[in-house]
Amino acid sequence: MYSSWFGKPVVMLVVIRQCHVPMPCPIVTESAADARVLLQPGWEMDVRKDLIVAIKQVVIAAEKRVD
């Protein structure tokens, strides 16, 4: 379900206690119930799929990219 976003910069909209929280992070992998995200190098976290409301890929303009 989330494999098309693996390794790409995305923003996930997650619902926590009736609050919508945007989480900018790449998705690393998924299981039946969770999506594993990379918060920063060495820090990964499992997010329950039933808490994810939306996912949008982040697109960086060519002039803002660093080579």
CATH number of the domain that residue 13 is part of: 2.30.30.520
pLDDT in tens, 22-54: 999 999 999 999 999 999 899 999 999 999 999
Contact 11, 21 (CB under 8 A): no
Q: What confidence score (pLDDT) does residue 1 get?
A: 81
Cα–Cα dist 64/54, whole Å: 25
Cα–Cα dist 58/39, whole Å: 15
State whether residue 21 is helix, strand or coil: strand
The percentage of residues in the chain with a pLDDT greater than 70, rounded to a whole number, is 88
Query: How many domains is the chain built from?
Result: 1
- Segments forming the whole domain that contains residue 14: 3-64
59 or 5: whose pLDDT is higher?
Answer: 5
Q: What confidence score (pLDDT) does residue 59 get?
A: 80
Q: What confidence score (pLDDT) does residue 65 get?
A: 57
